[in-house]
Copies of this chain bind each other. A is one copy, B any other.
Amino acid sequence: MQAKRILVVGGVAAGPSAASKAARVDPAAEVILFEKGGAISYGICELPYYISGEVMGEDLVVHTPESLHREKRVRVRLGSCVEEVVPHRRIVRVRDAETGSLAEEPYDRLILATGAQPKRLGVRGEEADNVFFLRSLSDGQRMRGFLERERPRGALIVGGGYIGMEMADALRSRGMGVTLLHRYDLPLPGFERGAREKARETLEAHGVEFVPEAEASHFDLRAPERVARVIASQGSYAAEVVLLSLGVSPNAELAESCGIRLGRHGGILVDQRQETSRDNIFAAGDCCEVKNLVTNRWIYAPLATIASRAGRTAGENAAGGRARFRGALRAVALRLFDMEFMRAGLCSAEAKDAGFRVVTEKVTTGSRVAAMPGGSDITVELIAEESTRRLLGANVYGGEGAVLRGNTLAVAIQHQMRIDDLQDWDLAYSPPFAPLWDPILIAANAARRRFG
């Protein structure tokens, strides 16, 4: 039998994960990864910390093409853009960026990991030298280069999702003034109102000017390649440097053009094996939608944790294995100055939208026993179904230990536990780490009383 040929399209997160796993599961297979850009296997999540200076550029890269080949037996072709998939012939057409030539590459199994692209305003000036997105290593390098070269005193961020938050922090830590325009009254959509208020308060406490209900509409240019002002729904803002963090949308054109089924968020739909609606074609990562483990509905959740898991699953199955990826909780963590924010499962709006009647309970308590110095406030908000008392979602935020506590609640959500299960939890206590009754337990007790 001839060795299997497994092609992977896309080299950032899910792609290298899938390729490495495929090569491990089927040591005889020929595994080739095509990346249209000039780098593979780097951390997008780390980009804000690279911009702040906390992380060095070389540390962003997990694998070079050489190390991926040496250590994982995956061949990498940079500057190789897969332009077309022809499923009935099991070939892809690959454009070489350098020569411009188009070559056919046959496959036995194909894995699409084409990622996502930043949403754009679609206005003149969006390609200016001082306007940035933060979606790739080269985006990050371009922005850091600009900041180091031109030393702007202030920045304008459009979009208050978690990348906007992290970047506000990063740019403040470079000593820059930061103005953040957000289309809603509070940042961090997807979190509960309490967390969002705390996020706004945290931004403002650290000198970020937060402008609510502001939709950026166009740019004033002072030169063809330089934006001078951002014009928004209710004002105009001078801008030495502009970051657009408006979210991302799946790169699913390649999949769509060969007849693969997409979902209502525009992402590729896959089964639990990460196989698409086309035989022998798998997909993983930010180009895909994912099943929400709470509602069993398709959501779009472009998160590295999901990309990595889904990538491994796709790689294993493309190589003949039998892995399953059941879905995700949209578990999100971020640091914002001296605060941690975490969410998992459904927010109450999502829960209502999915037909749940919910009860929420929010409790703020100390992160340590009162006598112990160094603690801070921590808030736990639980979202539970009224009829079953099942935990559907949680927000945890505060000065220390919020994210890791949130992960404990994520497990409870994933395992469909009830509020009543939580309060029986025997968690460890020691004064430096928690109050005698952990904030999670205090919130669970309060929620239980709320239910009566």
Contacts and interface: CB of A to CB of B under 8 A. Distances in A.
Contacts of A56: 371
Contact of A403 (B340, B425, B430): B430
Contacts of A401: 401, 404
Interface in A399-422: 401, 403-408, 410-412, 414-415, 417, 421
Contacts of A371: 43, 46, 49, 55-56, 59-60
A270 interface: no
A303 to B, nearest CB: 7
Nearest to A440: B407
Nearest to A430: B333
Interface in A268-324: 293, 303-306, 308-309
Interface stretch (A83-91, A98-106, A431-439): A431-439
B308 A437 contact: yes
A324 to B, nearest CB: 9
A343 B426 CA distance: 12
B414 A305 contact: no
Contacts of A414: 424-426
A405 B403 contact: no
Q: Looking at A403, A414, A427, which has the most chain B CB atoms within 10 Å of its CB?
A: A427
Interface residues of A, number: 62
A45 B305 contact: no
What is the copy number of this chain in the assembly?
A: 2
B55 A373 contact: yes
B308 A436 contact: yes
A411 B409 CA distance: 10
Contacts of A426: 293, 305-306, 309, 327-329, 331, 344, 410, 414
A213 interface: no
Contacts of A427: 305, 331, 407, 410-411
Contacts of A404: 401, 404-405, 407-408, 433
Contact of A410 (B55, B410, B421, B425): B425
B410 A411 contact: no
A403 B373 CA distance: 18
Interface string A367-379: 0011111000000
Given A340-B433, A411-B408, A415-B421, A428 B372 contact: no
A333 B370 CA distance: 17
Contacts of A335: 430, 432-433
B60 A331 contact: no
A193 interface: no
A401 to B, nearest CB: 5
A304 to B, nearest CB: 6
Contact of A417 (B410, B415, B430, B431): B415
A334 interface: yes
30 contacts: A43-B431, A46-B371, A49-B431, A54-B372, A55-B372, A55-B373, A56-B371, A60-B371, A304-B436, A305-B436, A308-B437, A326-B424, A327-B426, A328-B426, A331-B427, A333-B428, A335-B432, A335-B433, A344-B428, A401-B401, A403-B430, A404-B407, A404-B408, A405-B407, A407-B408, A407-B427, A408-B408, A408-B411, A411-B411, A415-B421
